[in-house]
Amino acid sequence: MSEVVSYELKDNIGVISVNNPPVNALAQAVREGILNAINTANEDASEAIVLLCEGRTFIAGADITEFGKPPQDPGLPLVLDAIENSGKPVIAAIHGTALGGGFEVALACHYRCALTSAKVGLPEVKLGLLPGAGGTQRVPRLTGVKAALDMITRGNPISASKALEMTLIDRIVEGDNLEAGGIQYAKELIGSGAPLKRISDIKIDPATVEPGFFENARKHLAKRARGQIAQDRIVSCIEAAVELPMDEGLERERELFRELVTSSESAAMRHIFFSERQAAKIQDLPKDTLVRDIKKVAIIGGGTMGGGIAMCFANVGIPVVMLEINDDALQRGMGIIRKNYNITVQKGKLSEDKMEERIGTITGTTEYLDIADADLVIEAVFENLELKKEVFTKLDAVCKPGAILATNTSYQDVDAIAEATARPQDVLGMHFFSPANVMRLLEVVRGEKTADDVLSTAMRIGKKIGKVCALSRVCYGFIGNRMLGGYGREAQMLLLDGCTPEQVDSVLENFGMAMGPLAMSDLAGLDVGYKARQGRADLPEDPRLYRMGTLLVEMGRHGQKTGSGFYKYDPETRRRDSDSEVETLIKEEAAKLGVEQRQITDEEILARCFYPLINEGALILEEGIAQRASDIDVIYVFGYAFPVAKGGPMHYADQVGLKNVYDKICEFRERYGEQYWKPAPLLQKLAEEGKTFAKWDKEKEVG
């Protein structure tokens, strides 16, 4: 039939088998092969057709490398029409995952069966797209409008049992012989005279949709997914499924899909999709680098961070020992873990039994000797270099040879910490983000003497616990927090120049940030940044620098925890409100410092906050702290809530144009001086050459 699709007649059942590893993506050859096989089956002696896949999964989606390229015939809609209009029943037999276009192929079939372990879903929204081959029209016809909207706008796969419950599949095949089960199901359908069940024949009764449902959905999704236009377009498609005949609904879906596939939002989200996978690859690490076996993990410190890290390992069944300084601290830490798990249980995302099983993998101790046999030890004590060095000296004395010793520091010198041991080759940074059991990013910090196998093990274990790993070399704040300095600095400088806190934050939030920088400072605690600045000798002597944050702390306004910071907060709901007292204080301080306040545009706020990020990112690339510009984007999307629809700060800079970014930084240098506005040489070079950070990444990878 073709190299990637075969057809065979087995006991009067035509079996179409797709074999396009690794995930049986719907490449042109697969589409053509399925179309030819359907046509052949309709002409031969077969009584029914079973469509299945070889390898580890059913068709797991479209071939996204084809996006943005001229379309190749046959298009997927043509293939699906041939399946649905077949004169013989077509049964999709699903194993692994049937995602995106793969699930749309299954939905075009007349019946669907699946192994118990299978999952199905339409994840296109995570790439800034919508299902473009009937998914938005067929799913609501099967499972109802509300369930369909939730499934498609979230993009998460569902289990075979859930899919059966939602009537998205018709049967679960027991055992693991899918082909035999699919053929048996086909024979039963023939024997019972089952009709050709075409989803396109189903009509949705508009009376089943509550008045205002689609309008409310749009408002809700606009808040939940800032800047992601795909969510709105999905609502429009499902609305079409209710109001229009199938063929018109399909045309509306294709029209909106074509709009999205060329959108900047989808380009940004696809950039992050590929960058996430690229970030896990370490350029100079030999492919045959060994990985150490991690069977037991120890966490030093049972606070919020330590407990969250312990949960990450417990969630995948790796035994954890959590060490605290005394029994009270230990019990408090174990209590926090139980409380966090209880919240997950109350949300219906975890059973009581599973909770107890996971908690059972975490044991507590106050004795260092109890962690002597740990394969990986992660220190999560306070951000104090001397304290951390003291901990590592103790670890060096008790931990077995070959144990990996990791610090969770977010700022401190990993090499200085490593030198507190006699085994710096076993030391590295594993910077989790708070709350560690929720945030997906793990910044893996490579020390000067970190061994290759230690590094590869950290990246591997990070993946196992569900983290997105990105590599950093050692510098103050590593990649993410180092870049954040200019962002926070300018947010506060803008206040002195004439902005209100609400103006700064609303501009950044409208851009897509989950929370503006000043509101975020209030949430984290203004005293945290205040204390961190006290120990820094590298900060310039500038009375404007973090002036407002410092004043607020000295007034006892530490942020949400004290009820006031840049904003005042409702004690029960923690809802923020503008505070006239703060606005008056800002004006008074500006006058004292001789700063003439003025009206500031939204465009300037964005540039003042984001261009320092971009400029520092360019310096980080030059210094070799980050491997790639795309790694920086991954860090900011997964660790700092930079909007995925903007693709991260470096991708955003490419879209703005590096020449424009460079010119604006030069303009700010003329206005504010070179102290904070000195263009990075790499940024200047790329701007002058008309290149992008993406191009720089590609040339570096090839070189």
Catalytic site positions? 104, 124
CB 10 within 8 A of CB 57: no
- Chain length of the chain: 703
List C-alpha distances in Å: 255 to 242, 485, 497, 680.
Answer: 17, 43, 46, 43
Which tokens hold the place of 472? Answer: 């950093």
Query: First vs last Cα of the chain: how many Å apart?
Result: 41
**Any idea of the CA torsion for 443, 225, 58, 247, to the nearest 10 degrees?**
-160
DSSP E strands: which ranges in 100-224?
Answer: 111-115, 119-121, 158-159, 171-173
Residue with the two structure tokens 């904003």: 567
Report the distance separating Cα 409 and Cα 287, nearest Å: 28
Task: Look up tokens 């925890």; give the residue.
Answer: 561
**654 near 696, Cβ under 8 Å?**
no
Inter-residue contact 37 to 210 (CB < 8 Å): no
Residues 6+ apart with CB under 8 A from 646: 227, 268, 511, 512, 652, 655
Please give the single-letter amino acid code of residue 534. Answer: Q
Report the alpha-carbon distance of residue 162 to residue 164 in Å, rounded.
5
DSSP state for residue 99 in the 8-state scheme:
E
540 half-sphere exposure, CB direction, 13 A CA radius: 11
Pick from 560, 580, 581, 557: nearest CA to 572: 560
Number of alpha carbons in the 13 Å side-chain half-sphere of residue 61 = 23
Q: How many other C-beta atoms lie within 10 A of the C-beta of residue 148? A: 26
Give DSSP secondary structure letters for 639-688: HS---GGGT-HHHHHHHH-HHHHHHHHHHHHHHH-TTT----HHHHHHHH
Instruction: Determine the Cα–Cα distance for residues 118 and 53; give it in Å rounded to an integer.
Output: 13
The backbone torsions φ and ψ at residue 405, rounded to the nearest 5 degrees and listed phi first, read -110, 115
Q: Label each residue of 255-296 as H, E or C.
A: HHHHHHHCCHHHHHHHHHHHHHHHHCCCCCCCCCCCCCCCCC
